[in-house]
Amino acid sequence: MDSNNNGNRFYLNLNNDRQAYPDRTYPTTPSTFPNPIFPSQAQGGGQQAQAQSSQQQQQQPYSTGFAPSGYFMNNPYPPSYPQQPPASNYPAPQAPQASYQQRPAPTNPNDATNGLVHQFSHQNLGGRASPYGGARQPSPSQRPRTAGATGQQVSYSNYLNAPMPAAPQQQNWPEFQPAPERNPDKYGPLAQTNQKRCAQLAEAFFKDSVRRARDRNVRQSEMEQRLADPNQSQARREQTWSNAGKQEGKYLRFLRTRDAPENYQTLKIIGKGAFGEVKLVQKKQDGKVYAMKSLIKSEMFKKDQLAHVRAERDILAESDSPWVVKLYTTFQDADFLYMLMEFLPGGDLMTMLIKYEIFSEDITRFYIAEIVLAIEAVHKYGFIHRDIKPDNILLDRGGHVKLTDFGLSTGFHKLHDNSYYQQLLQGKSSRPTNRNSVNLDQINLTVSNRSVINDWRKSRRVMAYSTVGTPDYIAPEIFSGHGYTQDCDWWSLGTIMFECQVGWPPFCAEDAHDTYRKIVNWRQSLYFPEDVQLGPEAENLIRSLVCNTENRLGRGGADEIKAHKFFRGVDFDGLRRIRAPFEPKLSSNVDTAYFPTDEIDQTDNATHMRIAAEASNQPRVDAPELSLPFIGYTFKRFDTYANNR
Amino acid sequence: MPPLPSSPSLSQTLSMDDSTGSLPSGDALSFYNLPRPKPIWLNDSYAKHIVKGNFMTLSARPKTVEQGEWIAHQVVEHYRNLWNFVRVIHDKDEEGTSICNSQTCPRMSAGANHSFTWLNARKEPVEVPAHEYISLMQRWISGKIDNTAIFPTDPAGVSFAYNTGNPDIASATYASGGLNTPGSNTPIPAGPTALTTSLSQLAGPGDWVGKSSGFPVDFVEVCQTIFRQMFRVYAHLYWAHFIDPFYHLSLEKPMNSCFSHFVLTATEIDMLKPHELEPMQPLIDLWAANGTFPKESKAYACANLKAGERLLSLAGVN
- Three-state DSSP string of A331-392: EECCCEEEEEECCCCCCEHHHHHHHHCCCCHHHHHHHHHHHHHHHHHHHHCCCCCCCCCHHH
Distance CA A51, CA A33 (A): 27
Q: Residue B80: inside a domain, yes or no?
A: yes
Angle ∠(B239,B244,B247) on CA atoms, nearest 5: 95
Distance CA A156, CA A141 (A): 16
pLDDT of residue A638: 67
Active site residues of A: 387
- Residue A6, SS3 per DSSP: coil
- Tell which wins on pLDDT, A333 or A600: A333
Q: Which amino acid is at A83?
A: Q
Interchain CB distance below 8 Å, B250 and A220? no
pLDDT > 70: what percent of chain A?
Answer: 54
Buried b vs exposed e over B228-253: b needs ≥16 C-beta within 10 Å? bbbbbbbbbbbbbbbbbbbbbbebbb
Q: Residue B4: inside a domain, yes or no?
A: no
A118-132, A304-318, A608-622 — which is least confidently predicted?
A: A118-132
Q: Is the pLDDT of residue B147 over 60?
A: yes
Are the C-beta atoms of A341 and A349 separated by less than 8 Å? no
In this prediction, residue A256 has a pLDDT band, given cuts at 50, 70 and 90, of: confident
Distance CA A121, CA B11 (A): 12
Q: Is the pLDDT of residue A275 over 50?
A: yes
Are the C-beta atoms of B245 and B157 separated by less than 8 Å? no
Phi, psi of A390 (to 5 degrees): -60, -30
In this prediction, residue A560 has a pLDDT band, given cuts at 50, 70 and 90, of: very high
Angle ∠(B286,B297,B208) on CA atoms, nearest 5: 130
How are strands ordered across the β-sheet holding A36-37? A36-37, B115-116, B108-109
pLDDT of residue A372: 96
Residues of B in contact with A206 (CB under 8 A): 50-51, 257, 261
The closest of A341, A462, A459 to A405, measured between CA atoms, is A341
Q: Is the pLDDT of residue A138 over 50?
A: no
Q: Residue B299: inside a domain, yes or no?
A: no
pLDDT of residue A452: 58
- CB-nearest partner of A39 from B63, B69, B112: B112
- Non-local (6+) Cβ contacts of A423 within 8 A are none
Are the C-beta atoms of B64 and B181 separated by less than 8 Å? no
- CB-nearest partner of A249 from B2, B65, B228: B65
Q: Which domains does chain A have, with CATH numbers?
A: 34-119+149-161 (no CATH), 238-345+604-645 (3.30.200.20), 348-432+439-585 (1.10.510.10)
Q: Is the pLDDT of residue A148 over 50?
A: no
- CB-nearest partner of A30 from B113, B221, B242: B221
- Tell which wins on pLDDT, A498 or A529: A498
Q: Any CB–CB contact under 8 A between B143 and chain A?
A: no
Mapping DSSP onto H, E and C, the string for B220-269 reads HHHHHHHHHHHHHHHHHHHHHHHHHHHHCCCCHHHHHHHHHHHHHHHHHC
A218-227, A293-302, A449-458, B138-147 — which is least confidently predicted?
A: A449-458
Q: Which amino acid is at A367?
A: Y
Distance CA A634, CA B10 (A): 50
Q: Any CB–CB contact under 8 A between A194 and chain B?
A: yes
A107-116, A241-250, A612-621 — which is least confidently predicted?
A: A107-116
Q: Is the pLDDT of residue A435 over 50?
A: no
Q: Residue B36: inside a domain, yes or no?
A: no
Q: Residue B256: inside a domain, yes or no?
A: yes
ipTM above 0.85? no
* DSSP per-residue codes, B22-53: TSPTT-TTGGG---SSBPGGGSGGGS--S--S
What is the average pLDDT across B188-215? 60
Q: What is the pTM of this model?
A: 0.63
What is the average pLDDT across B309-314? 92
pLDDT of residue A555: 92
* CATH number of domain containing B127: 1.20.140.30
Taking only the tens place, the pLDDT of each residue in A184-242 is 998 988 888 889 889 988 998 998 898 889 889 999 999 999 998 888 888 999 999 99
pLDDT of residue A421: 46
In this prediction, residue A4 has a pLDDT band, given cuts at 50, 70 and 90, of: very low
Q: Residue B300: inside a domain, yes or no?
A: no
In this prediction, residue A376 has a pLDDT band, given cuts at 50, 70 and 90, of: very high
Residue B38's beta-bridge partner residues?
A176
pLDDT of residue A208: 86
What is the average pLDDT across A491-505? 93
Interchain CB distance below 8 Å, A206 and B50? yes
Mean pLDDT, chain A, whole residue set: 68
What is the average pLDDT across A303-330? 73
Q: Which amino acid is at A644?
A: N
- Per DSSP, chain A holds a count of helices (H) and strands (E) of 22, 9
List B residues 278-307 in contact with A (Cβ-Cβ < 8 A): 278-279, 281, 301-306
Q: Is the pLDDT of residue B238 over 80?
A: yes
Q: Is the pLDDT of residue A150 over 50?
A: no
Q: Which residue segment(s) compose the domain that B82 sits in? A: 56-270
Q: Any CB–CB contact under 8 A between B169 and chain A?
A: yes
Q: Residue B318: inside a domain, yes or no?
A: no
Length of chain B counted residue by residue: 318
Q: Which amino acid is at A464?
A: A
Cis peptide before A261 (omega within 30 of 0): no
What is the average pLDDT across B81-109? 91
- Tell which wins on pLDDT, B17 or A556: A556
Distance CA A144, CA A181 (A): 8
Q: Residue B201: inside a domain, yes or no?
A: yes
Phi, psi of A295 (to 5 degrees): -120, 135
Interchain CB distance below 8 Å, A253 and B152? yes
- Tell which wins on pLDDT, A501 or B196: A501
What is the average pLDDT across A417-426? 48
- Non-local (6+) Cβ contacts of B40 within 8 A are A100, A139, A176, A177, A178, A179, B46, B242, B243, B247
Q: Is the pLDDT of residue A578 over 60?
A: yes
Buried b vs exposed e over A427-455: b needs ≥16 C-beta within 10 Å? eeeebeeeeeebebeeeebeeebeebbbb
Q: How many domains does chain B have?
A: 1
Taking only the tens place, the pLDDT of each residue in A450-463 is 555 666 666 666 65
- Non-local (6+) Cβ contacts of B248 within 8 A are A68, A71, A180, A182, A183, A184, A186, A187
Question: Which burial class, exposed, middle or buried, applies to A150 when counting CB atoms under 10 A from its CB (0-12, 13-18, 19+)?
Answer: exposed
In this prediction, residue B28 has a pLDDT band, given cuts at 50, 70 and 90, of: confident
pLDDT of residue B98: 92
Which helix (H) or strand (E) segment holds residue A270: the answer is: strand A264-273
In A, minimum Cα distance to B44 occurs at A176
Distance CA B111, CA A106 (A): 9
